[in-house]
Structure 1
């Protein structure tokens, strides 16, 4: 099976609900995507609405991967910087692959699609992303060509007494 990626898809209720379901599934499987399990769709909905509002406003772009049955199986958001001295790179965030598909190369496929999408954007020289320490995510992103360029120890508190590093990764596009 392969995933079919679409950059800037039409955001309709089915897509919105698919991303919401994916986000809850990834979080509840232990994924580091802005929440800590357990969560419900209602917990995530306000964050998703905020991100989709940014998509509608044009400051954020959405990349979605669908499986062979048309279900949302992967996502990444690319956000343009508003600071005039940092408009030459984008942030990738809410990078997710459905837990049932992990370990089969779909994460690498998603990151290749993120890179391809970023290369279509005028004036973009690099992609930055942040990841939560303690999951080994930095090794995955390094395998996709990213380099660790910053780390803030214990900057992310997932629970009392459980603080994780905030790691910044960079992929130059030139």
Structure 2
């Protein structure tokens, strides 16, 4: 697997990483930098209290890469003009009772590409990878309530299947629901 190549338009391209050895150090650093940028801008991608610690984000990114496996965990990277614009992690639990569905984790796009369709294209690409390559029948995700994410995912066909009220405490008087969403069938 090679690193992302230059894209001649602002249409996103996609790189799928199935094994830890397929990711370059530069791409892994770019993914961690994206995660820091998104988190520091208030994004709901796993680190809620900006500014985030670069070492903590780097270690979390390394753990995701270490767990990559074609059957259980893939990294999907969106690029625009050869630069990382966003990424997400598709995971499947191998237990036979639930192995027909997967979960999206850490869905994010760099703040400077927001509103340009990169996030929606990344989600559509994840759907295709999940269905056609991983053989999944459903995708699930958890979104932070109050951030407009329910509407974003809803436009892509996801529906709310539950909530955990007040699951996230962002500040003493700022509790947010965790919104559970699913896309089925793929």
TM bracket, shorter-chain basis: over 0.9
Q: Per the alignment, in what secondary structure is the counterpart of residue 120 of structure 1?
A: helix
- Provide the TM-score with structure 2 as the length reference: 0.87
**Stretch of structure 1 that moved more, 57-66 or 129-138:** 57-66
* 1:55 alignment partner in structure 2: 68
User: How big is the alpha-carbon RMSD for the aligned residues of Structure 1 and Structure 2?
Assistant: 1.6
Question: Aligned to 1:73, which of 53, 75, 85?
Answer: 85
* 1:28 alignment partner in structure 2: 40
Q: Per the alignment, in what secondary structure is the counterpart of residue 55 of structure 1?
A: coil
* 2:15 alignment partner in structure 1: 6
Measured in 2, the distance between the counterparts of 1:58 and 1:12 equals: 21
Q: Per the alignment, in what secondary structure is the counterpart of residue 68 of structure 2?
A: helix
- Provide the TM-score with structure 1 as the length reference: 0.93
Measured in 2, the distance between the counterparts of 1:4 and 1:58 equals: 23
Deviation at 1:83, TM superposition (A): 2.6
Q: Deviations over 1:72-120 (max 9, x none)?
A: 1110100011332100000011111110000121111111111111112
Question: Aligned to 2:124, which of 85, 104, 112?
Answer: 112
Q: Deviations over 1:40-68 (max 9, x none)?
A: 42231121111111115863111001110
Structure 1 residue 129 corresponds to structure 2 residue 138 = no
Aligned residues: 173
Q: Any unmatched runs of 5+ in structure 2?
A: 1-9
Cα contact 2:168–2:178 (8 A) shared by 1: yes
Cα contact 2:13–2:79 (8 A) shared by 1: yes
Q: Any unmatched runs of 5+ in structure 1?
A: none
